[in-house]
Amino acid sequence: MKKLTATAALLLFGAALCLADQWTGWITDQKCATSGRFTGAEHRKCVEGGQPVVFVNDADKKVYTISDPDKVKEHIGEKVTVQGTAKENTLEVESVTAAQSSGQ
Domain ranges for the chain: 20-98
Render each residue's pLDDT in the chain as its tens digit; 104 residues: 666 566 655 555 554 444 689 999 999 999 989 888 888 888 899 999 999 999 999 999 999 999 999 999 999 999 999 999 999 999 999 999 998 754 44
Residue-wise DSSP of 8-23: HHHHHHHHHHHH-EEE
Q: Name the class of domain 20-98.
A: mainly beta
| Rounded Cα–Cα distance for residues 82 and 91 (Å) | 10
Does the predicted TM-score (pTM) go above 0.85? no
Which letter, b or e, does each residue of 20-47 get, where b requires 16 or more Cβ atoms within 10 Å of its Cβ? eeebebbbbbebbbeeebbbeeebeebb
